[in-house]
């Protein structure tokens, strides 16, 4: 074979700004950091509740500091993005069959939202009862 | 409708150029003309030095893949009128080395494809299959893999995949979709052999589920789905290997 003088294009560092879908993907990947943050936040909360009333009060004071509030609001937006994007992707990852027929993608996504509503309802009931 | 439309075509001539540059052409804008028709008009009437691959003109052969306005497309199925008023940017498929103008080098894929063993593998229990015996399948068994068998190796999915662009070791969407096509075939017994290749980091785990491969696929193969299903299989295999005694896996 002849020796080819190939041109090898390089991928730009900013490749993810080129398309909306790439940007959304990178934001979705980034959202996992905020998922981790919410886990840490929840653990700190549970620990404070378990320690004493004073510790719980200290946690509340800390949690209402402006920077924590801003972080949590940004975190919530990313967690919502994480949930919606992954829920939408689930039918592609799971080929569910029932009674020999593939379950339509819409039903799988709807099932997840139903699960989310049920779990959220239980948590709300648990906290407010 | 305007009578003509501009084509802005990426040119690279390996003997004289160190990097690609643009050439601009005007072609007739006809309702039934595709980007490939435009390029053939350029080749026949304006500039005979322009190089590009094509064959069937009907979305079957998979050889005319190009980036049209930045999106990987089969140029034979992409109509000029959809890009009015133009100009339309035509580049070689991204993520591949360029041989000349719009022709890319596919040797990397050609080397990767046989690694996933995209053919029917006989059982290794000593049973031999007579060459003239028909392999029967029910319509349900055909349906199980049919979607993944529609792949025409056009490489649009590799061009759209940022993971492949950043890490050329990644075996890539089409190869994994073809592995899944044979895995789901009731006549095949090669699942274990393919899993050994795909369970590696440059196999399915390289994929971060960007999903662009599925979006650009002209044959609706859904490689992203094949990869995620494979991840599930690979994960289950790892759990089984960890929990079960050797004979039961």
Domains located in chain A, CATH noted: 14-93 (1.20.1300.10), 94-129 (no CATH)
Beta carbons of A94 and B232 less than 8 Å apart: yes
Q: Is the ipTM of this complex over 0.90?
A: no
Question: Cβ(B127)–Cβ(B138) under 8 Å?
Answer: no
So what's the pLDDT on residue B248?
60
So what's the pLDDT on residue A109?
92
Same-domain check for residues B235 and B117: yes
Q: Average pLDDT, stretch B111-127?
A: 84
Range of the domain at B18: 4-104
Which pLDDT tens digit goes with each residue over A34-50? 999 999 999 999 999 99
- Asked whether residue A2 carries a pLDDT value surpassing 90, the answer given is no
Domain boundary among B50, B79, B104: B104
Which pLDDT tens digit goes with each residue over B53-87? 999 999 999 999 999 999 999 999 999 999 988 89
pLDDT band with cut points at 50, 70 and 90 for residue B126: low
Same-domain check for residues B48 and B125: no
- Asked whether residue B111 carries a pLDDT value surpassing 80, the answer given is yes
Which pLDDT tens digit goes with each residue over A73-94? 999 999 999 999 999 888 888 8
Interface test with chain A among B211, B230, B234, B235, by most A beta carbons within 10 Å: B211
Closest CA to B6 of B94, B69, B71: B69
B105: which chain A residues are within 8 Å (Cβ-Cβ)? 4, 6
Which pLDDT tens digit goes with each residue over B82-101? 998 889 999 999 999 999 99
Q: What is the DSSP string of chain B?
A: --SEEEEEEEE--TTT-SS-EEEEEEEE--TT-BHHHHHHHIIIII-TT-------SSSSS---EEEETTEEEEGGG-BGGGGTT-PEEEEPPTTS-EEETTEE--HHHHHHGGGG--S----SSS----TTS-----HHHHHHHHGGGG-----HHHHH-HHHHH-TTS--HHHHHHHHHHHT-TT---HHHHHHHHTSTTTGGG-----HHHHH-TT---HHHHHHHHHHHHHHHHHHHHHS-GGG-
pLDDT band with cut points at 50, 70 and 90 for residue B127: low
Angle B70-B100-B212 (CA atoms, 0-180°, nearest 5)? 30
Same-domain check for residues B97 and B113: no
Model pTM score: 0.88
B162: which chain A residues are within 8 Å (Cβ-Cβ)? 11, 15-16, 22, 25
So what's the pLDDT on residue B214?
93
């Amino acid at each position: 074979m002849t020796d080819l003088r190939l041109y090898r294009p390089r991928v730009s560092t900013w490749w993810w700004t080129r398309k909306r879908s790439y940007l959304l993907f990178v934001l979705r990947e980034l959202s996992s950091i905020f998922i981790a943050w919410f886990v840490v936040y929840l653990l700190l909360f549970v620990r404070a509740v378990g320690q004493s009333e004073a510790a719980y009060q200290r946690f509340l004071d800390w949690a209402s500091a402006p920077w924590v509030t801003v972080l949590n609001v940004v975190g919530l937006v990313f967690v919502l993005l994480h949930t919606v994007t992954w829920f939408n992707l689930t039918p592609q990852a799971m080929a569910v069959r029932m009674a020999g027929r593939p379950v339509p993608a819409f039903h799988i996504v709807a099932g997840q939202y139903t699960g989310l509503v049920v779990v959220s309802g239980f948590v709300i009931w648990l906290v407010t009862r | 409708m305007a009578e003509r439309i501009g084509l802005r075509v990426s040119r690279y001539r390996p003997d004289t150029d160190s990097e690609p540059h643009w050439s601009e052409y005007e072609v007739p804008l006809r309702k039934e003309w595709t980007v490939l028709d435009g390029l053939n008009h350029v080749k026949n009437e304006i500039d005979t030095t322009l190089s590009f691959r094509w064959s069937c003109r009907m979305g079957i052969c998979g050889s005319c893949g190009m980036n049209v306005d930045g999106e990987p497309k089969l140029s034979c199925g992409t109509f000029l009128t959809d890009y009015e008023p133009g100009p339309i940017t035509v580049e070689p498929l991204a993520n591949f080395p360029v041989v000349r103008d719009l022709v890319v080098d596919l040797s990397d894929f050609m080397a990767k494809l046989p690694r996933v063993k995209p053919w029917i593998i006989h059982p290794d229990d000593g049973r031999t299959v007579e060459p003239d015996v028909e392999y029967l399948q029910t319509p349900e068994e055909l349906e199980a893999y049919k979607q993944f068998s529609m792949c025409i190796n056009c490489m649009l999915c590799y061009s759209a995949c940022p993971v492949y662009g950043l890490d050329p070791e990644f075996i890539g969407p089409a190869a994994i979709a073809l592995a899944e096509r044979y895995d789901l075939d009731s006549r095949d017994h090669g699942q274990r052999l393919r899993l050994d290749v795909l369970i590696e980091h440059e196999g399915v785990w390289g994929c971060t589920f960007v999903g662009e491969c599925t979006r650009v696929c002209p044959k609706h193969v859904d490689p992203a789905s094949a990869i995620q299903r494979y991840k599930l299989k690979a994960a289950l295999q790892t759990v089984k290997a960890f929990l079960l005694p050797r004979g039961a896996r």
